[in-house]
Structure 1
Amino acid sequence: MLLGRKKRVCVVSLDGVSDDLLEGAFQEGRLSPLAAVWKQGGVAPLSSSIPPISSVAWATYATGVNPGGHGIYGFVDRDPRSMDQYIPTARDVAAPTLWARLGEAGLKPTVINLPLTYPAQPFPGTLVAGFPAPELRHAAHPPELAHTLIDSGYLVDPDPRLASDPPAFFAEVKKTIACRRRLALRLLKEDWNLFHLHIMATDRLNHFFLRARLSGTPYHQDFWSAYEDIAELVGEVVEGLPKGTELVLMSDHGFSEAEWQVDLNRWLLEKGLLRLEEGGAGPRRVAPDSVAYSLTPGRVYLMREGRERGGWITPREAPYNLERVREALLEVRTPDGGPAVAEVFWGEEIYRGPRAALGPDLVAIPTPSVELRGGWEGKELAQPAPRQGCHTLEGAFLWIRDREPKPGNILDVPPTLWSLLRLPLPGDFEGKVLI
């Protein structure tokens, strides 16, 4: 069968965008190109990964398995043998990706700027890596595409450090969207079966200027001007799709306004469950007689014997200590007296697979308006949130043209795409089809 006659699916993902934000904007007469597309399909809520952050969510989407299978638990992780911190990359994703599977099956995927795809790995298709991507020369496959990116001054992601200079930040957001538009419209003309365009700028806008969505707030016009550029980009991509293409819009997690940032390591220190030694950095400061420590966001690890450097807690002692830590986490309060933690998940209940044993033993989900971190300075337990928006477990969406998808989890999107492509489902996909 000729490539051009095979089924095509286009996915446009808007990082950290809720359908409530979009539909509210549509009602106000905003984002007209996207609103016109939105009327052509149905939408359903998606719950995110645990924890609900982009690297974990998109690794889950990219592989069709939970973090225990793909091994990504956050933008920062630790080697338990040395307690050194590191930033996971595409090389750390321990399960095959959707695009690698499709390429091996003789189909041609094109993937643009999904997080945790750097450095670009070779496969039968086209990929431009997403955040974090420090060097463009390693950010594309085939490799010659990297030269085009470099020559054009391509921006993978707005620089978050510019948020302290709002005019410069919004200018860079708009420049990033313009780069994405030029690349997407060019690659859209090539042969493909799966075309995935990811927009990371929405996450940046929501983190740093979520309150600007409200009328009368500073940078209100700048916020919506950037969103209008994104809506126009989506409209142009949809207009350029070959006839008969299945169209999917989605996001990976929700957002709420942030009020407090709470340091779980500070709380563990106060409860006598953690002791930090002088010298070293990050988890290397954890003393061997500690019970547990935390990594951002809300991940808590026991000092397990045979796993953590200096670990002493045996499998028999683990349940008692896990319950101690869980109860302590649920006691954390913000300065206004409200609970900081809404729920605590047990790692053994939510993670399964060859990398599950390396994952967190507990994951704390914050209450709306709270951001959890694992700090190493041992200073304030809680402080005003440094950013305007924080991630939420609920609030993501799945929209499909001419269909009414069922509510689900981000794990369910890969089998749903396989169904749209009319391919037999791989046996290791963990989700269900939502159409």
Structure 2
Amino acid sequence: MNTLLVGVDAACWPVVERLPDRSAVSTIDRLGNRGVAAPLESAIPPWTASAWPSLYTGTNPGKHGVFGFLRFDGYDWDVVNATDLCARPLWELADRHGLTSVVVNAPVTHPPRSFDGALVPGYTAPEDPECHPPGVLDAVRDHVGDYRLYSEGEVDRESAADDYRAFVRSRGAAFRYLADRFDPEFGFVQFQQTDTVCHEFPGDDDLLGAVYDAVDDEIAAILDACDPDTVILASDHGIGPCEGREFRVNEFLREEGFVETATDGDGMPTWVSIREGRLRGVGNGDEEGGFSGISGVSGALASAMGLAARAGFTTQRAARLVDALGLTEPVSRIVPDDLQRAGTERVDFPASVAYVRDPIELGVRINLVGRDPEGVVDPDEYESVRADLIDALESVRTPDGDPVFEEVAPREAHFHGPEAERAVDVVTVPADFDQSLVAQLYGERFGEPTEPWTHKRTGLVVAAGDAVDAEAGVGDPHLFDVAPTVCAALGIPRSDRMDGRPLPFVEPTDERRYPPREARERVGTEDEGVTETLADLGYVERVQDD
């Protein structure tokens, strides 16, 4: 193997320093000692679905087209997939130069395109995904045993370490099997559990150490089996404790006159289930649900709650009352989901001037005439509305008097390219990523974070091997620089569409204008399990039409 790219989701030096035993990253440390190691600045937004495409295409979301876990078509949405990706990934560039690639677990790669090699997709793919070539997943499962993309239900603390290790080992074993079968010049394997453990068990350093130890062992086994000339290890972003507040952006925008709301089904409801301090329910089919199987009673209650909502008594108000009385847990066991949804106050997207549709996008979308299905802002007023939004958001302070945002800027500050029109219009970057942004309406601007850990802007990069000149240093690396650096290690021209540049420790190759990536018809994700998994991890808010 010429070049191996190892992706370790959410890896960063502050997390490494938390590990109970530094030997859990002994292989990673050895690579850094042989070559270079440095912090790696992520892109905006620094989340898995948009950051990994930025890493493996070298472009900003305005070019590659993935801005978060959700793709919006007007006010409708779907989970993103590879038909949303508009820029060429590394393995397609390698293919154009006669190089074979093996890719395992890379996010937003389903359904795959044809190239010389093999691909088993990662996040946002369904549990039994289409792979390349057809049938390769069956061969992987025959060889390595159980290979799953997602956990089967919630993971409890007692079994978590074994579950995480099994996921990590399956990724490494699948990659080694495919590398042996296809003999690639380029390999890319991604490990997701280093991020997952921080969302599911935030602050559990023992579990964190177990996951990193398993990842480190798999990296060592891959190095031994594949003997790559050059190794580049990179993360998509960092992660760490959320030490600020939860800022409910749409609540603020409602107070400022930008957001309109609805409780009669005209708006798009958003809510998050299984969150501390919130009124939460179980599905009507759940055996623990007090109204399970009693559809008439449940429907009547839902209708009553809908009427109450129109009178101003919404689920959010009920949640605060129930929480104040200390009744959250008993109430959550008997209140079905459809009752909550009927009573949830919603952002009325078509009637609003501007709104947050997905907090992971890190920004506000303006409801523009001619662009959005029921736009209310005339194009002549676009810049003045955007300026008003920027001024309002820049002024927001936490209850302690600290700025909520370190940057509020027009989208052009971070997104440029043919897909930029689909981005938010105003980018909002939380201060130190210590403020948690949510889209729900709860009647108050601020609350305690529902996610105790959150993504951070700085990840890491490590590189060693024949193509790495450690004495040249690493410079000031950015996520966009990884793809052109891999191109340099492979000895192939980078695309002139890339926003990054080869890092100083490699000998740069030339730029080349590659033919445009052929567009293909978008397919829907249509997999409830994917949505549920992303929601359980806090990546998406559950969004559903009535």
CA distance in 2 between partners of 1:287 and 1:198 (Å): 36
1:26 to 1:237, Cα distance in 2 relative to 1, 3 A = farther
1:27: how far off?
Answer: 7.8
Matching residue within 370, 374, 399 for 1:310 = 374
CA distance in 2 between partners of 1:426 and 1:204 (Å): 32
Q: Aligned ranges for residues 378-389 of structure 1 at < 5 Å? A: 378-389=442-453
For the pair 1:371 / 2:364, whether they are aligned, the reply is no
Matching residue within 162, 174, 194 for 1:171 = 162
- Whether the aligned pair in 1 keeps the contact of 2:90 and 2:483 (CA below 8 Å) is yes
CA distance in 1 between partners of 2:253 and 2:93 (Å): 43
- Whether the aligned pair in 2 keeps the contact of 1:91 and 1:119 (CA below 8 Å) is yes
% same residue: 27
Q: Residue 495 of structure 2 corresponds to which residue in structure 1? A: 426
For the pair 1:351 / 2:335, whether they are aligned, the reply is no
Residue segments in structure 2 that go unaligned for 5+ positions in a row: 271-345, 505-546
Q: Residue 101 of structure 1 corresponds to which residue in structure 2? A: 93
1:36 to 1:64, Cα distance in 2 relative to 1, 3 A = closer
1:334: how far off?
Answer: 3.9
Q: SS of 2:109's equivalent?
A: coil
The one-letter code matched in structure 1 to 2:495 is: P
Q: Residue 460 of structure 2 corresponds to which residue in structure 1? A: 397
CA shift digits 1:342-374 (9 cap, x unpaired): 212311232211111121111211123222122
The one-letter code matched in structure 1 to 2:247 is: V
Q: Aligned ranges for residues 21-420 of structure 1 at < 5 Å? A: 21-22=15-16, 25=19, 28-80=22-74, 83-138=75-130, 140-151=131-142, 152-158=145-151, 162=154, 165-189=156-180, 190-213=182-205, 221-242=206-227, 245-259=229-243, 260-277=245-262, 278-279=264-265, 280-282=267-269, 285-294=347-356, 295-297=358-360, 298-367=362-431, 368-375=433-440, 377-393=441-457, 395-401=458-464, 402=468, 403=470, 404-420=473-489
Q: Residue 216 of structure 1 corresponds to which residue in structure 2? A: none
- Whether the aligned pair in 2 keeps the contact of 1:288 and 1:310 (CA below 8 Å) is yes
Q: SS of 2:36's equivalent?
A: strand
1:112 to 1:196, Cα distance in 2 relative to 1, 3 A = same
CA distance in 1 between partners of 2:232 and 2:369 (Å): 46
Q: SS of 1:196's equivalent?
A: strand
CA distance in 2 between partners of 1:263 and 1:122 (Å): 43
CA shift digits 1:312-367 (9 cap, x unpaired): 32333122211211222233344554332221231123221111112111121112
CA distance in 1 between partners of 2:501 and 2:207 (Å): 39
1:239: how far off?
Answer: 2.2
The one-letter code matched in structure 1 to 2:234 is: M
- Whether the aligned pair in 1 keeps the contact of 2:9 and 2:193 (CA below 8 Å) is yes
CA distance in 2 between partners of 1:108 and 1:330 (Å): 49
1:357 to 1:212, Cα distance in 2 relative to 1, 3 A = same
1:359 to 1:339, Cα distance in 2 relative to 1, 3 A = same
Q: SS of 2:436's equivalent?
A: strand
1:34: how far off?
Answer: 2.9
- The two structures have a TM-score, normalised by structure 2, of 0.71
1:228 to 1:373, Cα distance in 2 relative to 1, 3 A = same
CA distance in 2 between partners of 1:25 and 1:105 (Å): 41
The one-letter code matched in structure 2 to 1:251 is: S
1:211: how far off?
Answer: 1.7
CA distance in 2 between partners of 1:99 and 1:333 (Å): 45
- Whether the aligned pair in 2 keeps the contact of 1:48 and 1:57 (CA below 8 Å) is yes
- Whether the aligned pair in 2 keeps the contact of 1:110 and 1:127 (CA below 8 Å) is yes
- Whether the aligned pair in 2 keeps the contact of 1:158 and 1:173 (CA below 8 Å) is no
1:287: how far off?
Answer: 4.7
CA distance in 1 between partners of 2:260 and 2:348 (Å): 6
Q: Which structure has the greater CA radius of gyration?
A: 2
* Larger mean Cα displacement after TM superposition, 165-174 or 262-271: 165-174
- Whether the aligned pair in 1 keeps the contact of 2:247 and 2:436 (CA below 8 Å) is yes
Q: SS of 2:246's equivalent?
A: strand
CA distance in 2 between partners of 1:17 and 1:433 (Å): 21
**C-alpha RMSD over aligned residues:** 2.3
**Paired residues, what number?**
414
* Larger mean Cα displacement after TM superposition, 69-78 or 366-375: 366-375
1:146 to 1:379, Cα distance in 2 relative to 1, 3 A = farther
Q: SS of 2:437's equivalent?
A: strand
- Whether the aligned pair in 2 keeps the contact of 1:265 and 1:378 (CA below 8 Å) is no
Q: SS of 1:316's equivalent?
A: helix
- The two structures have a TM-score, normalised by structure 1, of 0.88
- Whether the aligned pair in 2 keeps the contact of 1:208 and 1:387 (CA below 8 Å) is no
1:130 to 1:379, Cα distance in 2 relative to 1, 3 A = farther
- Whether the aligned pair in 1 keeps the contact of 2:37 and 2:474 (CA below 8 Å) is yes
CA distance in 2 between partners of 1:16 and 1:157 (Å): 17
The one-letter code matched in structure 1 to 2:80 is: P
Q: SS of 2:45's equivalent?
A: coil
The one-letter code matched in structure 1 to 2:488 is: S
- Whether the aligned pair in 1 keeps the contact of 2:367 and 2:377 (CA below 8 Å) is yes
1:193 to 1:345, Cα distance in 2 relative to 1, 3 A = farther
CA distance in 2 between partners of 1:262 and 1:228 (Å): 35
1:300: how far off?
Answer: 0.9
CA shift digits 1:128-182 (9 cap, x unpaired): 10012223242x21111121345532022446x625x322333321221121122
1:270: how far off?
Answer: 1.9
1:112: how far off?
Answer: 0.8
